[in-house]
Amino acid sequence: MVAITEERVGFRKRGLARHARHIADAAADLVRYQFGSLPHVQLLLTADTNTLADVAARSELALVEGVTQRAANKELRLARRNARGKAGTTVLAEVGVLVVVNLANVPDKASVNALLVHEFTHGHQLGAPVAREQHLAFCAHAFGVAKLPRRAVRQIEALIDQREEEAYAAENLATRLPA
């Protein structure tokens, strides 16, 4: 079951938020059926780009110990800059994963379906304990807490690209969801 919350969803996007709440469990079931287990998923629906960036960045910053305030501020600025035009993101949370969906950048219900399947696929990818540890090590490297060898960084970046391709391919499952 997907835990769903809403934050800063305006009047114009309430229909998409209602649709996302309605199909979230079905999308999670599709991903489970296709790929396997899914960790605990927290879904945050918003229509504000800054909320998407702040919540996602703070979630990962909270998991890495020893991040300086300067590095945290830099990460928050970078997250806000990179969130422009972004419809969703999946990050690690204290328990499981956090999926943040920016409904302001989603045009219709079919796109909501594809986005949820895409992000839940990322949730599956990050759900394995080994993948979680690897991602936390990469975050610690990105936040300046612990240094990773260049070879390891390149391998993780290649893995991230591979996971993105897999998630885009999984969007075809969204056609099975009601639009």
Cα distance between residue 45 and residue 52, in whole Å: 9
Q: Beta partners for 45?
A: 6, 101
pLDDT tens-digit map of 158-177: 999 999 999 999 999 999 99
Q: What are phi and psi of 65, to 5 degrees?
A: -85, 145
Statement: the pTM of the whole predicted model exceeds 0.85: yes
State how far the alpha carbon of 118 is from the alpha carbons of 30, 61, 149, in Å: 11, 23, 30
Written as six digits, the tokens of 123 are 């949730």
Q: What is the mean pLDDT of the chain?
A: 96
- Is the pLDDT reported for residue 1 higher than 90? no
Q: Beta partners for 133?
A: none
- What confidence score (pLDDT) does residue 134 get? 96
The answer to whether residues 124 and 31 touch, using CB atoms and an 8 Å cutoff, is yes
Put the strands of the sheet holding 2-7 in their side by side order.
2-7, 41-46, 97-102, 88-92
Which residue has 């928050």 as its token pair? Answer: 76
pLDDT tens-digit map of 93-109: 999 999 999 999 999 99
